[in-house]
Amino acid sequence: MIRRHQATRPAPWNERNQRATSPWLRPFVALEWALEWVAFILGSWALLEVLEYLGTFSVLIAVIFYFAESGDRVKQRHYQAWQVINTAQGKGGSGGRIDALQELNADKVPLVGVDVSSAFLQDLNLRNANLLRSNFSSADLRNANLAGVDFTLANLRTANLRGAILDHAKCIQTDMEDTDLTNSSIVGADLLGASLDDADLRGADLKDIQWQHLKSIAGANIAGVQNAPAGFASWALSHGAISQPNAQE
């Protein structure tokens, strides 16, 4: 709230001039007296008071519009992120896709059907992302955090997931053929209908995985797997898996 105070009418020049105790002070006293008159005259103008109120009001309007348009800014940011992802589709390298994917996921945007095949996505963090029917084939996902993601019907064929975290991931009917899962963590993952043919599981943590309804595991290397559920290793070997610690990379 603006509160204006009416300026006091300046004293007559004869009175003010008495302050000049020496000749060299008289110009400064005169200047001060003139400025006081200017302030007094301007202070009586209602126009200036209105302009001050308008200035404050314009700031308020700007704040209102800023928040009113926040939704449009978010949509624009999402559009730009998708543009980055789609423009680089099928290409190697990152191309800004790591930041774009993480930004969309942070805003709870479903990444259903996203295609980042062959992309360089090391250290990607898409925890709890919705990646239904996504395509990560041949992508470099080393050390990625994919805990809790939904990979239902996704394509992870030949992807490099060394050291990645897929704890409690939903890998229902996921194509994980020839996927490199060396030293990854797949704790509690749901592998219903998933294909692990020729996958490299050496050193992977398989604690509490739901493996009973795996589609296939022929050729998968399970050497050195950790915390494998009871019966998993024998079942896998009987269905074509191998256990070769020093198998060729």
Residue 182: closest CA among 211, 161, 210, 206:
161
Residue of 165, 154, 163, 159 lying closest to 183 (CA atoms): 163
Q: What is the pLDDT of residue 237?
A: 97
pLDDT by residue (tens digit) across 43-92? 666 555 666 666 666 666 666 655 555 566 788 999 999 999 999 887 88
Tokens of 160: 């490099």
Q: How many helices (H) and strands (E) are present in the chain, helices listed first?
A: 6, 0
| pLDDT bracket for residue 1 (50, 70, 90) | very low
What is the token pair recorded at 29? 């006293």
Query: Which residue's entry shows tokens 């204006």?
Result: 4
Residue among 179, 122, 133 nearest 156 (CA) = 179
Q: What is the pTM of this model?
A: 0.71
pLDDT tens, residue by residue, 121-151? 999 999 999 999 999 999 999 999 999 999 9
Domains of the chain: 13-68 (no CATH), 92-249 (2.160.20)
Average pLDDT estimate for 84-103? 90
Confirm if 121 and 97 have CB atoms less than 8 A apart: yes
How long, in residues, is the chain?
Answer: 249
pLDDT at residue 210, rounded to an integer: 97
Give mean pLDDT, residues 219-224: 98
- Residue of 196, 211, 241 whose CA lies nearest to 223: 241
pLDDT band at 222 (very low <50, low <70, confident <90, very high): very high
Please tell me the predicted confidence (pLDDT) of residue 134: 97
C-alpha angle with apex 210: 232 to 114, nearest 5 degrees? 125
For residue range 171-200, what is the model confidence (pLDDT) as tens digits? Answer: 999 999 999 999 999 999 999 999 999 999
Residue 162 pLDDT grade (very low, low, confident, very high; cuts 50, 70, 90): very high
So what's the pLDDT on residue 135? 97
